[in-house]
Amino acid sequence: MRSRLVRSKLLSSVADAVGQTPMVRLERAAREAPSVEVYAKLELANPGGSVKDRAALRMMTRALDDGRLSGDKILIDSTSGNTGVAYSLFGAALGVRVQLVMPSNVSKARKDITRAFGTEIIFSDPMEGSDGAIRKVREIVAKEPEKYFYPDQYSNPDNPLAHYHGTAAEILDQVGDRITHFVAGLGTSGTIVGNSRRLHEHHRKVHCVAVEPADAFHGLEGLKHLASSLVPAIHDERAYDETFRVTTEQGLDMADTIAREEAMHIGHSAGAVVFAAIEIAKRLHREQQGGCVVAIIPDRGDRYFAPMKWEKRYVW
Ligand SMILES: Cc1ncc(COP(=O)(O)O)c(C=O)c1O
């Protein structure tokens, strides 16, 4: 009720629409664990369509407040995913010029969505993937550091802090003392680290679970297989209690199940998070412990649709 009131307020900027996301009970999908409540926190309801709105907005507003970012600087980073969409949206909202470096072979949809907000794209070598884009952005910034603000979400403490002060506080408001388990995917690790730190300060124990892809080569976009990746500077494995590994197929299948049974079309990494949440709920039910599991749904499934042949084409 509380979040419904907040969401019905008149806002002065789209930036004020970030957060206060709804939480929906997954009753049908979790029917094998009837003694356990499983909730999906719908981060797809943020204005940029993903959980990354929270981190991007806090990284930008904090930098504007302390002068690292100002009207004459360009925000530059190397993401073609949800963080890129969030930078582009808030760049338009806050009057900040945004440049994103991405491999030239990313999908047309990825280029179009960020360009729609006025973002400029710089292409890196497609053969070098996302690491090539990171190297290129670092070269550009090193040449003219005073010209740019480089938020670098992998080492920026405002990324987990957005969840510590925002998402986790909302969850405690929404389910209160009932929460026993928290489940989130691990990408930069901002979501799992920031939420877990806050939930561990709660006066009752909350068991926090990070979801990782089971294999180094996986299709769970946004998620990191830590053992085979560069570990982000903001990652802190002491912040959470358990790592749950999910295959790409389990994530895809669960995303389909949630669309059909719960009428929510979520992304496949979100499917992986829900898969883990339901397995944990089944474990609690078998052990007759009961409980309340909260799962973070980072984005919607339609973000991953390949451009279709019958899609409407615009001529500019
Ligand atoms: C699409 C997507 N983006 C990002 C993340 C991870 O967020 P973070 O970078 O905060 O770890 C997830 C986690 O489930 C995700 O599915």
Write down the pLDDT at residue 311: 40
CA of 222 to the centre of ligand 1 (A): 5
Query: What tens digit of pLDDT does each residue of 70-87 get?
Result: 989 999 998 868 999 999
**Residue partners of 110: CB distance under 8 A and separation at least 6:** 80, 81, 84, 102
Q: Which amino acid is at 7?
A: R
Atom of ligand 1 nearest to the CA of 153: 9
Among candidates 209, 211, 200, 210, which has minimal Cα distance to 172?
200
Contact criterion met (CB below 8 Å) for 99 and 74: yes
DSSP notation for 98-133? EEEEEETTS-HHHHHHHHTTT-EEEEE-GGGHHHHH
**Residue partners of 201: CB distance under 8 A and separation at least 6:** none
pTM for this structure? 0.92
DSSP notation for 201-236? TSSS--EEEEEEESSSS---TT---GGGSPPPTT--
Query: What tens digit of pLDDT does each residue of 157-196 get?
Result: 999 999 999 999 999 999 999 999 999 999 999 999 999 9
Buried-state track 26-47, b at ≥16 Cβ within 10 A, e below 16 = beebbeebeebbbbbbbbbbbb
Reported as a pLDDT band with limits 50, 70 and 90, residue 316 is very low
The residue whose CA has the least distance to atom 6 of ligand 1 is 187
Average confidence (pLDDT) over 284-296: 96
Q: Which amino acid is at 289?
A: Q
Residue 21 pLDDT > 90: yes
Residue 42 pLDDT > 80: yes
Write down the pLDDT at residue 259: 97
Atom of ligand 1 nearest to the CA of 160: 10
Contact criterion met (CB below 8 Å) for 86 and 57: yes
- Phi and psi of 104, rounded to 5°? -65, -15
Q: Angle of helix 168-175 relative to helix 190-199, nearest 10 degrees?
A: 50
Measured CA angle at 224 (ends 261, 241), to 5 deg:
80
Least confident of 106-110, 139-143, 207-211: 106-110
Q: Angle of helix 82-94 relative to helix 108-115, nearest 10 degrees?
A: 20
Computed over every residue of the chain, the mean pLDDT equals: 91
Contact criterion met (CB below 8 Å) for 30 and 38: yes
CA of 129 to the centre of ligand 1 (A): 19
| Size (the chain), residues | 316
Residue 314 pLDDT > 50: no
Write down the pLDDT at residue 108: 79
Atom of ligand 1 nearest to the CA of 211: 14
Write down the pLDDT at residue 315: 35
CA of 193 to the centre of ligand 1 (A): 12
Write down the pLDDT at residue 8: 65
Write down the pLDDT at residue 131: 76
Tokens 């679970």 locate to 209
Residue 7 pLDDT > 60: no
Write down the pLDDT at residue 312: 38
- Within its chain, how far is the Cα of 172 from the centroid? 19
Atom of ligand 1 nearest to the CA of 186: 11
Reported as a pLDDT band with limits 50, 70 and 90, residue 1 is very low
Contact criterion met (CB below 8 Å) for 160 and 190: yes
Average confidence (pLDDT) over 105-131: 86
pLDDT top residue among 309 and 169: 169
Average confidence (pLDDT) over 45-57: 97
According to DSSP, the β-strands at 23-25 and 36-42 are antiparallel
CA of 266 to the centre of ligand 1 (A): 13
Cβ < 6 A, ligand 1 pocket: 51, 82, 185-191, 221-223, 267, 269-270, 273, 298-299
Per-residue DSSP letter, 306: P
Average confidence (pLDDT) over 102-119: 86
Write down the pLDDT at residue 6: 55
CA of 201 to the centre of ligand 1 (A): 23
Question: How many beta carbons lie within 10 A of that of residue 289, not counting itself?
Answer: 11
Among candidates 268, 265, 275, 315, which has minimal Cα distance to 295?
275
Residue 309 pLDDT > 50: no
Query: What tens digit of pLDDT does each residue of 196-249 get?
Result: 999 999 999 999 999 999 998 888 888 989 998 888 999 999 999 999 999 999
CA of 186 to the centre of ligand 1 (A): 6
Reported as a pLDDT band with limits 50, 70 and 90, residue 55 is very high
Atom of ligand 1 nearest to the CA of 270: 16
The residue whose CA has the least distance to atom 4 of ligand 1 is 222
Q: Which of 191, 236, 300 to probe ligand 1 with, by most ligand atoms within 8 A of CB?
A: 191
pLDDT top residue among 195 and 112: 195
Contact criterion met (CB below 8 Å) for 39 and 293: yes
Write down the pLDDT at residue 59: 98
Rounded distance, CA 50 to CA 3, Å? 18
Q: Which amino acid is at 131?
A: D
